[in-house]
Amino acid sequence: MSTRIAFLKGHGTENDFVIVPDPENVLDLPPAAVAALCDRRAGLGGDGLLHVVRSAAHPEARGMAADAEWFMDYRNGDGSVAEMCGNGVRVFARYLQHAGHATEGDLAIATRGGVKTVHLAKNGDVTVGMGRARLPEGDVEVSVGEHTWPARNVNMGNPHAVAFVADLAHAGDLYAPPPHRPAGAYPDGVNVEFVVDRGPRHVAMRVHERGSGETRSCGTGACAVAVAAARRDGVDPAVTGTPVTYTVDVPGGTLVITERPDGEIDMTGPAVIVAEGAFDSAWLEGVLG
């Protein structure tokens, strides 16, 4: 028997998501189902999917249920699982507010990267405490076409390679194959950011996301870029004792990233719900065969 399954669409700086509320975790969402839902031509379309589940109802989140009622079960557009999604968690918070599960102010959300504190501001901005960046040794190179750049490893719970480039156009076009990287450097894949300077503590980036291709924004990527830019600029809040803020322009808007002396990083930007509807379970079963 076919049933109607509710969904919403939302985005944060045009990093867009299919949102599937499933409080008791009863839906079966294998990778092929997520990829079908995120398909921009044959499905609903999204860079990724936010499966909204009560922490107590999800085996990966039960241990966080005392601290956060809701778990962001994030999936990339190809159906793969990622540790964290910075824009996703901001849109997830906006969904909880939209659905009446949260109000303006602070709320805790469980993610595979741990419990994140999100602040829903009056002006529509959403800030998330992203935790600390790790800067593993062993920098790599990324290449697109005839261009090759050194890149900095930054881990925001998920892996990023940040390359400072002369021209964002050198990152190729939307349909180009993903940037090349040396075999073995990232056994689980990597998100690659291309960055140019725009002014003092102001950069612009493009990103090729693991599991989604080029997207118009990446929150964890913007944090990785801000930290890589600060270190390149000789700025480390742990040393100066003063927070540092970078403005990061992405193709879909602007994110503001602040790193504090204790290493904790806050990211602020808009998060919007644009539509809600329902799809037929028979359609999805038909696609999955």
From 130, 156, 192, 218, the catalytic residue: 218
- Which of 91, 218, 224, 227 contacts ligand LBFN2T5F by CB under 6 A? 218
**Does residue 87 belong to the site contacting ligand LBFN2T5F (CB under 6 A)?**
yes
- Which of 158, 192, 250, 265 contacts ligand LBFN2T5F by CB under 6 A? 158
Instruction: Determine the distance from the C-alpha atom of residue 189 to the mean position of all C-alpha atoms in its chain, rounded to a whole number.
Output: 15
**Does residue 43 belong to the site contacting ligand LBFN2T5F (CB under 6 A)?**
no
Nearest approach, Cβ of residue 25 and ligand LBFN2T5F (Å):
21
Q: How far is 171 from 180, CA to CA, in rounded Å?
A: 11
Secondary element (H or E) of residue 61: none
Q: Tell me if residue 99 falls in helix, strand or coil.
A: coil
Cβ proximity to ligand LBFN2T5F, 124 vs 286, nearer residue: 124
Q: How far is CA 59 from CA 25, 26, 50, 73, 137, in A?
A: 10, 12, 16, 11, 33
51: left (phi over 0), alpha (psi -120 to 50) or beta: beta
**Does residue 212 belong to the site contacting ligand LBFN2T5F (CB under 6 A)?**
yes
Q: Angle at Cα 60 formed by Cα 54 and Cα 61, nearest 5°?
A: 40
**Contact call for residues 210 and 190 (beta carbons, < 8 A):** yes
Residue 226: φ, ψ to 5°: -60, -40
38 is known as an active-site residue: no
From 64, 85, 154, 161, the catalytic residue: 85
218 is known as an active-site residue: yes
| Number of residues forming the site for ligand LBFN2T5F (CB under 6 A) | 18
What residues line the site for ligand LBFN2T5F (CB under 6 A)? 15, 48, 76, 82, 85-88, 158, 191, 209-212, 215, 218-220
Catalogue the active-site residues. 85, 218
